[in-house]
């Protein structure tokens, strides 16, 4: 019989026509298997191709039905086809349509023999909904089989749009994509959907309705597909329809059927399946959206208790697979409020650390959005965005519902941890009252939450001065990391260990720990997190105080140049790197060359003043004050320097850092006596090593300028003794002229080594080439007098030398400073830090 006449407008499939033409063109018996579910367009494809192909074959179309399970009847029909075909010299195409109707074993034997005996000039096309048990695997190995499945038959966006237009409708790109997503190009549902568009005023509403209730366009074809399946396969599809994708492990937990058998039979019965690759090389499977929706609706209606059990199984599986949001979807499908409360507390932090807060709020919605613990998660999300005011507001609100008593201890310690982090990022006073709550906590049952609590307990201990306890708690946090805590928390543990070493004054260990934290951040792709920036800042500060330089291709250097800012809801913005890292990066950039530019110094000043205004922490933020002061004075930004001192004093009071900073300004303007008095009040205190080195070195500078050589030697020796363990060099470079002069004359003795003295001298030469032009002691005295504005004759009288001697010293000064006038000489001396 001839091909059937088509009653619909056909969307041409040139790609598949070309495949079929190539089969006919080969000089071997061709076999084509087109196996796919009902309504996918098998018959339409073949019939339209036969009307278009240039091969002009002789066509025999055999429409098989239930009556053809009579083997004798089938034998007569097929024998007649071959007898007619053998008389034809040209190409012959035999179409066996609806071959799935043949189920009788003897009739299948007849069909197999017919396909096997195909002459050279023939092509046999077997179109079916499920694959009959013929020799298709052998034909595939021989290279004589072409297989077309539902994926190949699926219509693309152009074809779907054309079908919609056929019924007088049009869709924009987003609506077309939505229609394509839930039909996956399945031809019959696409056409049914196009017909139903006429019942709606808005296409978008129609698409949304059909997406939520797809049975209206899929019931016929899906029931036809599922109705032909064995019971075990239907049950498996129903069980796995509650998840979008499944692998072997999840499928076996949802249903006891043999997954290998299911996958094999799914292919044989032509059930449309979607494949996707996971993060590993494994392949996951998911049923076609229409199959999934239909099977899910059936099982919900028939066995709701089974559905609840399946959702619970899926929730546990996805939690174990660290996919908490997917797990929450299943818990919400069950509607178990107690389980959702527990999820919020134990797994909600993981979602926040993954950066998926908004998706979490969307899932919880208004129904579950006010559960106990949700405000804690919102506060956590706010501190992760460096927005302490919002976090404080969330933490200060009351829960509208009372949580289960068994969750109360975990909720309490979570709130305590949040209070500490809010204090850390806002610069508020550390809440001592939360310490008993930390001590009373015996664990929450969540690795992530326990790790977070340990981190914040450690922060509280650190900023309250108990550094030993802080170290122990950070090591506990790392141990929890080994048990599976979130990589974000592991990175924070490593970063905080580096910070703790810096607070202790152990800069070498700070650097080692910071490098380890950065390596972990790179491995876990977390370099955009604030803890990675803080670790980079620690490396920068160690590099800075040792007067080293980062390589241009260093990842730390790349992070130091990044300056992204995060917008807050109130219209303000904060550096993503955090205030401390912003200052550290600015300092390092300003010291890449011997003298900072005005712009670089201003960047340092603004970053430091911004830090003091946003969230300074005693014991950490103040460590940057004298470093920033040195850059500002070196660039002649005395007004900004004065602002910085007053801002720091207002925040922390007259702490040693402020006193030393004031002494630096006094020395800068030539008031050595006042500087000496300030330094004398703090130099003998127990100070951070970097500050102590600077205080003793400045004290040596004061003594040297006052010609108290013995006192200068004592103070310089003490500075060197304190500097050598951590190789602290930057304070010497900040006092380059005085330091170079004193190091030449330093007598032997002290706890420092001669090697370190040579090291500092070499740094002075390398990093400050041209900064100190080698002025003599007398030339420095004359230079200081020139800066006062006195006439040369007046200077000579004051120094008890002749006018010609002063003129000679002045000429030498001009030459060494590359100046042509007194004003230029004084300006250049100021820029070099010689005045």
Percent of the chain at pLDDT above 90? 50
Sequence-separated (6 or more) residues with CB below 8 Å from residue 488: 353, 354, 526, 529, 531
- Residue 771 has a pLDDT of 55
- Residue 589 has a pLDDT of 85
Percent of the chain at pLDDT above 70? 96
Residue 110 · residue 74 · CB < 8 Å: yes
Of residues 238 and 569, the one with the higher pLDDT is 238
Of 358-367, 671-680, 794-803, the range with the lowest mean pLDDT is 794-803
- Residue 774 has a pLDDT of 62
Instruction: With a cut of 80, say whether residue 155 has pLDDT above it.
Output: yes
- Residue 767 has a pLDDT of 59
Third-level CATH fold of 14-153: Rossmann fold (3.40.50)
Residue 635 · residue 604 · CB < 8 Å: no
Residue range 267-314, pLDDT digits in tens: 788 888 888 765 555 778 889 999 998 899 889 999 999 999 999 999
Q: Is 274 helix (H, G, I), strand (E, B) or coil?
A: strand
Sequence-separated (6 or more) residues with CB below 8 Å from residue 177: 157
Average of per-residue pLDDT across 124-143: 91
Give DSSP secondary structure letters for 159-193.
HHHHHHHHTT----HHHHHHHHHHHTT-HHHHHHH
- Residue 82 has a pLDDT of 85
- Residue 768 has a pLDDT of 57
Instruction: With a cut of 50, say whether residue 179 has pLDDT above it.
Output: yes
- Residue 716 has a pLDDT of 95
Instruction: With a cut of 90, say whether residue 619 has pLDDT above it.
Output: no
Residue range 181-194, pLDDT digits in tens: 989 999 999 999 99
Instruction: With a cut of 60, say whether residue 413 has pLDDT above it.
Output: yes
Instruction: With a cut of 60, say whether residue 399 has pLDDT above it.
Output: no
- Domains of the chain, by residue range, sit at 14-153, 157-212, 224-314, 610-767, 777-831
Same fold, 224-314 and 777-831: yes
Residue range 7-35, pLDDT digits in tens: 778 899 999 999 999 999 987 889 999 99
Name the DSSP class of 246.
B
- Residue 833 has a pLDDT of 61
Sequence-separated (6 or more) residues with CB below 8 Å from residue 249: 317
Instruction: Tell me the pLDDT of the chain averaged across its residues.
Output: 88
- Residues linked to residue 566 through DSSP beta bridges, in sequence order: 574
| Nearest alpha carbon to residue 81 among 21, 147, 47, 125 | 125
Burial of 337 (0-12, 13-18, 19+ CB in 10 A): middle
Residue 185 · residue 289 · CB < 8 Å: no
Which of 3.10.20.30, 1.10.10.10, 3.90.79.10, 3.90.76.10 is the CATH number of 777-831? 1.10.10.10
Compute the distance between CA of residue 678 and CA of residue 674 in angstroms, rounded to an integer: 6
Instruction: Categorize the per-residue pLDDT at 400 as very low, low, confident or very high, splitting at 50, 70 and 90.
Output: very low
- The full length of the chain comes to 835
Q: Is the CA virtual torsion 723, 725, 729, 730 positive or negative?
A: negative
Instruction: With a cut of 60, say whether residue 464 has pLDDT above it.
Output: yes
The predicted model scores a pTM of 0.74
Sequence-separated (6 or more) residues with CB below 8 Å from residue 705: 672, 738
Instruction: With a cut of 70, say whether residue 736 has pLDDT above it.
Output: yes
Helix ranges (H only) for 197-336 are: 203-212, 215-226, 231-240, 248-254, 259-268, 289-302, 304-320, 324-334
Instruction: With a cut of 70, say whether residue 734 has pLDDT above it.
Output: yes
Instruction: With a cut of 90, say whether residue 834 has pLDDT above it.
Output: no
| Nearest alpha carbon to residue 474 among 435, 513, 444 | 513
Residue range 525-544, pLDDT digits in tens: 998 888 999 999 999 899 88
Residue range 33-86, pLDDT digits in tens: 999 999 999 999 999 999 998 888 999 999 999 999 999 999 999 998 888 877
Third-level CATH fold of 610-767: 1.25.40
- Residue 629 has a pLDDT of 94
Residue range 763-795, pLDDT digits in tens: 887 755 545 566 766 787 888 889 888 999 999
Of residues 409 and 357, the one with the higher pLDDT is 357
Average of per-residue pLDDT across 445-462: 94
Q: Which CATH architecture has domain 224-314?
A: Orthogonal Bundle (1.10)
């Amino acid at each position: 019989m001839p091909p059937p006449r088509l009653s619909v407008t056909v969307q041409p499939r040139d790609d598949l026509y070309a495949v079929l033409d190539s089969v006919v063109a080969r000089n071997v018996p061709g076999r084509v298997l087109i196996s796919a579910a009902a309504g996918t367009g098998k018959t339409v494809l073949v019939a339209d191709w036969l009307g278009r192909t240039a091969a002009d074959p002789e066509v025999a179309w055999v429409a098989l039905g239930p009556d053809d399970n009579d083997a004798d009847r089938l034998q007569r029909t097929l024998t007649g086809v071959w007898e007619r075909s053998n008389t034809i010299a040209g190409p012959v195409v035999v179409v066996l349509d609806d071959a799935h109707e043949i189920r009788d074993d003897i009739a299948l034997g007849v069909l197999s023999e017919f396909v096997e005996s195909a002459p050279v000039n023939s092509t046999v096309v077997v179109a079916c909904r499920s694959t009959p048990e013929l020799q298709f695997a052998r034909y595939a190995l021989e290279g004589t089989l072409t297989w077309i499945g539902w994926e190949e038959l699926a219509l693309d966006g152009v074809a779907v749009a054309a079908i919609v237009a056929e019924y007088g409708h049009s869709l924009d790109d987003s609506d077309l994509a939505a229609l394509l997503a839930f039909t996956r190009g399945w031809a019959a549902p696409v056409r049914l959907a196009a017909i139903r568009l006429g019942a709606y005023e808005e296409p978008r509403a129609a698409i949304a309705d059909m997406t939520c209730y797809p049975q209206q366009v899929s019931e016929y074809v899906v029931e036809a597909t599922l109705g032909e399946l064995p019971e075990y396969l239907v049950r498996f599809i129903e069980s796995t329809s509650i998840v979008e994708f499944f692998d072997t492990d999840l499928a076996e937990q949802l249903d006891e059927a043999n997954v290998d058998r299911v996958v094999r039979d799914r292919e044989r019965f032509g059930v449309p399946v979607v494949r996707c690759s996971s993060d590993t090389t494994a392949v996951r499977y998911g049923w076609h959206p229409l199959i999934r929706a239909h099977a899910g609706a059936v099982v919900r209606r028939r066995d709701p208790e089974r559905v609840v059990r399946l959702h619970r199984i899926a929730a546990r599986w996805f939690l174990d697979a660290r996919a908490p949001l997917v797990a929450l979807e299943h818990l919400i499908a069950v509607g178990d409020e107690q389980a959702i409360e527990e999820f919020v507390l134990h797994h909600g932090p993981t979602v926040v650390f993954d950066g998926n807060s908004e998706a979490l709020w969307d899932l919880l919605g208004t129904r579950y959005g006010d559960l106990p613990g949700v405000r804690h998660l919102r506060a956590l999300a706010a501190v992760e965005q460096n927005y302490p005011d919002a976090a404080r507001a969330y933490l200060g609100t009351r829960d509208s519902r009372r949580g289960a008593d068994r969750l109360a201890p975990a909720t309490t310690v979570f709130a305590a941890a949040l209070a500490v982090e809010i204090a850390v990022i806002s610069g508020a006073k550390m809440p001592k009252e939360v310490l008993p709550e930390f001590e009373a906590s015996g664990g929450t049952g969540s690795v992530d939450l326990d790790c977070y609590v340990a981190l914040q307990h450690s922060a509280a201990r650190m900023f309250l001065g108990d550094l030993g306890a802080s170290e122990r708690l950070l090591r506990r946090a790392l141990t929890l990391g080994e048990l599976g805590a979130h990589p974000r928390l592991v990175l924070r543990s490593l970063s905080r260990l580096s910070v703790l070493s810096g607070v202790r004054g152990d800069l070498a260990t700070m650097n080692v720990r910071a490098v380890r934290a950065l390596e972990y951040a790179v491995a876990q792709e977390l370099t955009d997190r604030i803890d990675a920036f803080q670790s980079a800042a620690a490396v920068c500060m160690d590099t800075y105080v040792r007067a080293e330089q980062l390589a241009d291709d260093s990842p730390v250097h790349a992070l130091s140049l990044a300056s992204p800012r995060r917008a807050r809801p109130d219209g303000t913005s904060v550096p993503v790197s955090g205030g401390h890292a912003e200052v550290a990066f600015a300092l390092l950039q300003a010291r890449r060359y011997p003298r900072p530019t005005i712009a670089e110094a201003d960047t340092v000043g603004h970053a430091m003043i911004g830090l003091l205004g946003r969230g300074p922490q005693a014991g950490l933020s103040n460590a940057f004050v004298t470093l920033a002061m040195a850059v500002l004075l070196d660039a002649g930004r005395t007004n900004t320097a004065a602002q910085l001192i007053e801002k720091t004093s207002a925040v922390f009071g007259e702490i040693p850092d402020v006193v030393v900073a004031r002494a630096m300004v006094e020395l800068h303007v030539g008031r050595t006596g006042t500087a000496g008095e300030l330094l004398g009040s703090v130099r003998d205190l127990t100070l951070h090593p970097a500050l102590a080195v600077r205080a003793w070195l400045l004290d040596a500078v004061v003594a040297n300028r006052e010609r108290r050589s013995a006192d200068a030697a004592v103070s310089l020796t003490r500075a060197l003794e304190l500097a050598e363990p951590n190789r602290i060099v930057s304070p010497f470079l900040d006092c380059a002229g005085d330091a170079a002069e004193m190091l030449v004359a330093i007598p032997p003795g002290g706890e420092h080594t001669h090697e370190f003295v040579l090291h500092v001298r070499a740094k002075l030469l390398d990093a400050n080439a041209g900064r100190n032009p080698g002025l003599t002691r007398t030339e420095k005295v004359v230079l200081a007098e020139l800066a006062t504005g006195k006439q040369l004759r007046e200077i000579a009288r004051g120094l008890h030398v002749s006018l010609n001697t002063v003129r000679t010293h002045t000429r030498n000064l001009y030459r060494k400073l590359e100046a042509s006038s007194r004003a230029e000489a004084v300006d250049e001396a100021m820029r070099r830090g010689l005045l």
